[in-house]
Amino acid sequence: MSDFDIVVIGSGPAGQKAAVQAAKAGKQVALIERDALLGGACVHRGTIPSKTLRENALRVNNMRKNATLFQFKLSEDLEMATLIDRLDDVMKSHDEYMRRQIDRNAIKRIHGRARFLSPNEVEVTSVRGKKQVLNTDYVVIATGSFPRKPEQVPIDHENIFDSDSVLSMLYLPKSLAVLGGGVIASEYASIFQALGVRVIMIDRYPRPLGFLDKDLTDNFVNAFQDMGGVWMGNSVVKKVCFDGVNDVITELEDGRTIITQKLLCAAGREANVKDLDIDNAGLALDERGVIPVDGQLRTRVPNIFAAGDVIGPPSLASASMEQGRRAACNVIGLEVGSMPEMIPVGIYGVPELSSVGMTEQEARKAHGQIIVGRAPFSEIARGHISGNQDGMLKLVCDAEGRRLLGVQIVGEEATELIHIGQMALLSKSDVDIFVESIFNFPTLAEAYRVAALAVIGQRARRNSVY
């Protein structure tokens, strides 16, 4: 007899949803978390902390933009704690809500470090060193990821930080080098720049966020540079060191040297299996360094499933939650099919960026001729009212100008607005739906209508030519 039907390791977005789904189906579930608080990287070191800092950065940015209305200057030596003042409350309320949810679903919550003894036995060691062994029919691994530490970057969490420690800085620095041009780097670089820090972003690629539509990344780089930030593309970091006094020295492979007060290293993440002894369960990482799974999220060991960052991209809280839920459904035998292919991306930089479906470049490659309609927020009444005129929404359509292929948005509310386009894409609607439907006014959603009219105008011109 097993102690549990399912043992879930990790209480981040993937583990939480897996445990709740399995318990709701009447299974005996244990959720193991090594941290004192529930929620994983998403709540404690990632999504929620960075977005809390961003809220204050947006306030500062808005004050600066409205300098004629307010006499505004950030105080010298501003403590980071002031800038993330709401974070403790946000994290505690999240932990409380998760605890209540776990308890009311009769999930056994166990705090301790889990490791496999065999495919059906998980040993948990508490902080006091007490060990217990859980026998289980199934396991869902949801242990997430941790920041990659490149050899040449000696992260000391005092001068040279990673994304786990960057918010533990005591004071807002005067200058910051950000190593990386991915999502974490772009979010933090633009947030700190909006707060008035002199930020230099360094990446080996020519532009940041290379997977996004070029219009969006151009807009992001321009906005970052307009705030005073420096983007250094095509630059490989060779060595980083603290000078022992005040500054961090970053040497590039081309011989250039950058001196800043602090450095944030955001050079990717690695699957977190350090303590799990996965080989005892018959598992191994693949060549990408993640736990490989099939379309049902099952590993090569039949009773073990995995979900979230530990299985690799897209490495998003949003996708991890759904993977967790689906992993549990597959364990139980509830029909859920495979994961949706169309996953939106939301980047909470300053400005905000969001994308779903094809970029303009991908669509041109796949379809040759396409029609693109743009709506600058400066042409939208709500943009004028709220002072959000810097954004843009772009609809990417097929050559006929009918079928929607993708939606790309930059500017405030981009991550919310994208879902309208996502629903249109999923329901395979023609672009005309945005013109034939009536939206609330004034809203930024009007941008869909304006961009659709631009597409329909080009379609009409094209048809009259042919």
Ligand X SMILES: Cc1cc2nc3c(=O)[nH]c(=O)nc-3n(C[C@H](O)[C@H](O)[C@H](O)COP(=O)(O)OP(=O)(O)OC[C@H]3O[C@@H](n4cnc5c(N)ncnc54)[C@H](O)[C@@H]3O)c2cc1C
Indicate which of ligand X, ligand NAD, none lies near residue 320 (CB less than 5 to 8 Å, by partner kind). Answer: ligand X
Task: For residue 409, list its beta bridge partners.
Answer: 354, 393
Among 268, 282, 289, 376, binds ligand NAD (CB under 6 A): 268
d(CA 267, CA 178): 9
Residue 183 counted as an annotated binding residue: yes
Residue 180 binding ligand NAD, by CB under 6 A:
yes
Q: Which residues 305-344 are close enough to bind ligand NAD by CB under 6 A?
A: 314-316
Our CB check for ligand X shows the closer of 145 and 430 to be: 145
d(CA 21, CA 178): 39
Residue 10 binding ligand NAD, by CB under 6 A:
no
Indicate which of ligand X, ligand NAD, none lies near residue 268 (CB less than 5 to 8 Å, by partner kind). Answer: ligand NAD
Applying CB under 6 A, which part among 222-230, 264-272, 386-394, 396-404 lies near ligand NAD?
A: 264-272
- Footprint on this chain of ligand X (rule: CB under 6 A): 9-15, 32-35, 40-42, 46-47, 50, 113-114, 142-145, 163, 184, 272, 275-276, 308-310, 315-318, 320, 348
Our CB check for ligand NAD shows the closer of 309 and 360 to be: 309
Applying CB under 6 A, which part among 74-82, 132-140, 265-273, 278-286 lies near ligand NAD?
A: 265-273
Among 91, 105, 150, 285, binds ligand NAD (CB under 6 A): 150
DSSP for 393-429, please give it: EEEEE-TTS-BEEEEEEESTTHHHHHHHHHHHHHTT-
102-108, long-range: CB < 8 A, 24+ apart: 102/16, 102/19, 102/20, 102/31, 102/38, 105/19, 105/20, 105/23, 105/24, 105/29, 106/23, 107/19, 107/20, 107/23, 107/29, 107/30, 107/31, 108/4, 108/28, 108/29, 108/30, 108/31
Residue 145 counted as an annotated binding residue: yes
Residue 180 counted as an annotated binding residue: yes
Q: How far is the CB of 232 from ligand NAD (least distance, A)?
A: 9
What is the DSSP pairing of strand 262-265 with strand 113-118?
Answer: unpaired
Our CB check for ligand X shows the closer of 307 and 363 to be: 307
User: Are the C-beta atoms of 116 and 134 separated by less than 8 Å?
Assistant: no
Whether the bond between 442 and the residue before it is cis, its omega within 30 degrees of 0, is yes
Summarize the annotated binding site for NAD(+) as residue ranges. 180-187, 268
